[in-house]
């Protein structure tokens, strides 16, 4: 983005605008994929954000009352560029370890691929009831949960559970995380793979130049 944070902070975002409405089929697809738009910091649902628009620069400004963050977004040829003006990107493992009240009951909503390929698989199955005992950082999956089903304990991806008590603070925190994860998360594992391929391409370019 060609503007600095200071310049964006002083810019007006008071122009009228209309949000594009998706047709019902697109909405259903979005719900199935879980990719609902949300705050880039806390995952707060998109319709809860205060939105401003600058018509000249074709940029939107979003304010989230849930985490008090402010950010600007502009569409580009390769996607959407965002700059955070207020607030900090969340360390989700640390945040959830601090905010969630353990233990709590959940329902398994997704199961491991191992369930389909291992005949004697005895891990968590979809619709199993479980109890979350703790959560941890995961290099590959973002946040994993230590869960107990009966007397057995398992590690399970936190985004693959739903908190049983829909009125609890745990439910809100986990749903916000899941929404943010689907929309904005890139695993450290994938990032490392992409970085490795990038360095490999740079090395090949240098070899070509030498030739």
DSSP codes of every residue in 50-74: EEEEETTTTEEEEEETTTTEEEEEE
| C-beta separation of 69 from 184 below 8 A | no
The pLDDT score that the predictor gives to residue 204 is 57
Rg (CA), the chain: 21
Per-residue model confidence as pLDDT tens digits over 46-70: 999 999 999 999 999 999 999 999 9
Residue 28 has pLDDT above 70, yes or no: no
Residue 210 has pLDDT above 50, yes or no: yes
Block residue for tokens 């900090």: 88
Residue 27 has pLDDT above 70, yes or no: no
| C-beta separation of 82 from 62 below 8 A | no
Per-residue model confidence as pLDDT tens digits over 128-182: 999 999 999 999 999 999 999 999 999 999 999 999 999 999 999 999 999 999 9
Tokens for 145, please give them.
């949960």
Residue 205 has pLDDT above 90, yes or no: no
Q: Kindly indicate the confidence band of residue 195, based on its pLDDT and cuts at 50, 70 and 90.
A: confident
The pLDDT score that the predictor gives to residue 200 is 63
Q: How far apart are CA 201 and CA 211, in angstroms?
A: 15
**How much is the mean pLDDT over the chain?**
89
Write down the domain spans for the chain. 5-86, 92-184
Average pLDDT score over residue span 80-109: 97
Share of the chain above pLDDT 70, in %: 87
The pLDDT score that the predictor gives to residue 34 is 46
Residue 209 has pLDDT above 70, yes or no: no
The pLDDT score that the predictor gives to residue 81 is 94
Q: Which residues contact 46 (CB under 8 A, 6 or more apart)?
A: 36, 37, 38, 39
């Amino acid at each position: 983005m060609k503007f600095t944070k200071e310049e964006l902070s002083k810019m007006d975002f008071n122009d009228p605008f209309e949000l594009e409405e998706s047709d019902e089929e697109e909405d259903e697809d979005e719900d199935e994929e879980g990719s609902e738009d949300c705050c880039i910091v806390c995952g707060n649902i998109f319709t809860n954000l205060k939105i401003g628009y600058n018509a000249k620069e074709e940029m939107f400004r979003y304010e989230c009352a849930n985490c008090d963050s402010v950010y600007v977004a502009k569409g580009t040829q390769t996607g959407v560029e965002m700059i955070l003006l207020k607030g900090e990107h969340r360390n989700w493992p640390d945040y959830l370890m601090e905010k969630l009240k353990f233990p709590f009951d959940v329902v398994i909503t997704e199961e491991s691929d191992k369930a389909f390929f291992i005949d004697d698989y005895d891990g968590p199955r979809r619709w199993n009831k479980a109890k979350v005992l703790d959560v941890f950082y995961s290099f590959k999956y973002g946040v994993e949960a230590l869960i107990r089903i009966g007397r057995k304990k398992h590690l399970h991806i936190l985004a693959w559970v739903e908190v049983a008590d829909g009125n609890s603070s745990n439910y809100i925190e986990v749903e916000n995380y899941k929404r943010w994860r689907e929309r904005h998360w890139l695993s450290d594992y994938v990032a490392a793979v992409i970085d490795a391929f990038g360095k490999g391409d740079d090395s090949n370019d240098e070899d070509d130049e030498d030739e």
